[in-house]
Amino acid sequence: MKHVVVIGGGHAGIEAAYISARMGMATTLLTMNLDQIGQMSCNPSIGGVGKGHMVRELDALGGAMGRLIDATGIHFRILNESRGVAVRGPRAQADKVKYRIAARRLLEQTEQLKLRQGTAACLRWHEGTRHLSGVELLDGSVLPCDAVVVTSGTFLNGRILIGDRRLEAGRAGEPASTHLAEQLRALGLRHRRLKTGTSPRLARASIDFTKLQLQPGDDPPRPFSFFSTSIPQPQVPCHIVHTTPETESIVRENLSKSSLYGGHIEGVGPRYCPSIEDKFVKFPAKGRHQIFVEPESLETEEIYLAGLSTSMPPDIQLRMVRSLPGFEAAEILRPGYAIEYDSFDPLQLHRNLSVDGLEGVWFAGQINGTTGYEEAAGQGLLAGINAVRCLRQQEPIVLGRDQAYIGVMVDDLVTKGTDEPYRMLTARAEHRLGLACDLADGRLLAVTREVGALRPEEFARVEARVAQRENLKASCDEAWVTQTSPFGPIALEAGIRLESGMSLSELFRRQVISPAHADACLSLLDDWVPGPPGWDPVTERDLLLFDLRYAPYRDREAKLLEGHRAWDHVRIPSDLRVETLHGISREVLEKLALHRPETLGQASRIPGITPAAVTLLHLLIHRQKGM
């Protein structure tokens, strides 16, 4: 019987193991500490703009993260809500203690999935790096397997830095993984050092919350998962505070004591989640910086300061914290720290996230140069799916840039690579009008069917909701609005004179039709409420208006996409020797050799490769096939 082993119990590992088992494959999740499965080492939150889109997508495909945050979230907000359906993103603050417990319980209750505590020492093959045989542990035992998904997070040669102190660790209080890191380096994989960081945790009782800006959550909170019916945890507010001139003065006076500016860090940090030291140095005109004051759990009194990531010595951290209004008597329970770790060049991955030259091996998460729970989870899900499909001799699942934010992320990684920790942003998706997170269930329906991880009743629920949307659109096309129709008074109230009739769809395309006007019209239709399970009238009304009003822009985008899709279907032969191609510049040949694109579409997205070069490459491939 075929078997998959997933190394690592972080967010990538959870998704890889969970989806593999849900697809019916015998799976083992190997982790150094079973009690730390699903641990939120940094900010205990899920989602946000771009990131929330990916959580909805992996939920639609059968992943775990959306369900887990709904079960354990204590503060939910929709970000960018005023900017429209396409770019708004759900975000939730997790109870990190309950999240970890819920993650382990979910895995323990999943059929075909076993948990195992231990440290991976090396991968074993029958012949060189062909025919994977298993994973050897530090205790000498071997887990036999036919495929392995490595989701090692920050543990590969991990090193924690606080001031001038260095600690070999994969996370605070946990040892680094050195043996597996050394084997992967010895196999010739291109590697680099990356860095991330975390903020200090404070004692709640030491903070004067009356001096802080209250940030309430949404009421009622809206679930992440398409399959959740409620939010069970009590909801609590977060708060906002800003740095002061004193904060900046403390940071600048002590820059030499920071691990980052004291020359102790060699790794590259995330551009879009900088440390507080970087914020003051790189953005001197900013003046002050926003800090989010967020509870870590209902079970503890720890408070997380999102936006105050630092590697300063503990005594300097305390001075920085106490310079904030309301934090004059604050007590630090756990100081912030920076952490360096090994990552491997994602250009060495195929589009299915398997590693070139290492048969039976997939990488997911921070090992590929990304940062963030959501980015890791999206990769873990795809790696798990494709490991199973490979063992079943099925074609891999490759999500296009126009299908999912997860597809954008993977294409960016394996086509362009990254020289800094990669974070998902909506700006990275050129087709984001079609990638609204609330439509992920319908958008990915065909892929979800092919993956087969959802239970039959879950899949039927998604199908019913998608069918209801189509029926509703058809009803709007057929309903006729005139002065004497039931819709007439509503149109008149909105300031529309109906000299001739129009369909309800055409009426809804008018910007003067407010959500309240739309609700009044929709209440007259039989296809409105009650809907199938999971049908939310407010969300569905917003999605309908978005679909109707942005249809011309999406149609224009679809025409542009036709050309891109054509290139994406032209495969570059794996045995093509680029050095033998004549008529292509040396720069393009070097980029082709480095990036190893699998299709012409991938090649066209590599910086420096022109459309003319892609056209010439197409002709050369066609000529070679004809020989």
What does the block give as tokens for 51? 């990131």
| Tens-place pLDDT, residues 276-306 | 999 999 888 888 999 999 999 999 999 999 9
Q: What is the CATH number of domain 465-554?
A: 1.10.10.1800
| Tens-place pLDDT, residues 296-347 | 999 999 999 999 999 999 999 999 999 999 999 999 999 999 999 999 999 9
- Residue 254: what pLDDT? 95
CA 386 vs CA 23, 105, 379, 451, 498: distances in Å:
11, 25, 11, 9, 55
pLDDT band at 625 (very low <50, low <70, confident <90, very high): low
Task: Give the mean pLDDT of 386-402.
Answer: 96
pLDDT band at 387 (very low <50, low <70, confident <90, very high): very high
Residue 338: closest CA among 252, 405, 262: 262
Task: Give the mean pLDDT of 225-252.
Answer: 96
**Paired strand residues for 27:** 4, 113
- Residue 451: what pLDDT? 98
pLDDT band at 31 (very low <50, low <70, confident <90, very high): very high
**Three-class DSSP labels, 217-276:** CCCCCCCCCCCCCCCCCCCCCEEEEECCHHHHHHHHHCHHHCCCCCCCCCCECCCCCCCH
| Tens-place pLDDT, residues 43-67 | 999 999 999 999 999 999 999 999 9
- Residue 590: what pLDDT? 79
- Residues 120/104, Cβ–Cβ less than 8 Å: no
- Residue 621: what pLDDT? 76
Q: What is the pTM of this model?
A: 0.91
- Residues 99/40, Cβ–Cβ less than 8 Å: yes
- Residue 561: what pLDDT? 65
Query: What residue has token string 């008074």?
Result: 489
Establish whether the linkage from the previous residue to 270 is cis, with ω within 30° of 0. Answer: no
Task: Give the mean pLDDT of 542-560.
Answer: 84
Task: Give the mean pLDDT of 494-515.
Answer: 93
pLDDT band at 365 (very low <50, low <70, confident <90, very high): very high
Handedness of CA 594, 598, 604, 605 (dihedral sign): negative
Q: Distance between CA 18 and CA 219 in Å, rounded? A: 31
- Residues 447/403, Cβ–Cβ less than 8 Å: yes
Most confident by average pLDDT, 105-109, 169-173, 192-196:
105-109
Does position 627 have pLDDT exceeding 60, yes or no? no
Handedness of CA 453, 454, 456, 462 (dihedral sign): negative
Task: Give the mean pLDDT of 416-434.
Answer: 88
- Residue 73: what pLDDT? 98
- Residues 168/176, Cβ–Cβ less than 8 Å: yes
Please report, rounded to a whole number, the percentage of residues in the chain having pLDDT higher than 90: 73
Q: Distance between CA 167 and CA 159 in Å, rounded? A: 6
Residue 439: closest CA among 479, 402, 384: 402
- Residue 528: what pLDDT? 85
| Tens-place pLDDT, residues 71-106 | 999 999 999 888 878 888 999 999 999 999 999 999
Does position 536 have pLDDT exceeding 60, yes or no? yes
- Residue 118: what pLDDT? 97
Going from N- to C-terminal start, the domains of the chain cover 1-454, 465-554, 569-626
Q: Distance between CA 48 and CA 90 in Å, rounded? A: 5
Superfamily designation of domain 1-454: FAD/NAD(P)-binding domain (3.50.50.60)
pLDDT band at 576 (very low <50, low <70, confident <90, very high): confident
Which residues 6+ apart lie within 8 Å of 547 measured at CB? 473
Does position 146 have pLDDT exceeding 80, yes or no? yes
pLDDT band at 584 (very low <50, low <70, confident <90, very high): confident
Q: What is the CATH number of domain 569-626?
A: 1.10.150.570
pLDDT band at 564 (very low <50, low <70, confident <90, very high): low
- Cα torsion 313, 368, 390, 561 to 10°: value is 130
**Paired strand residues for 194:** 268, 341
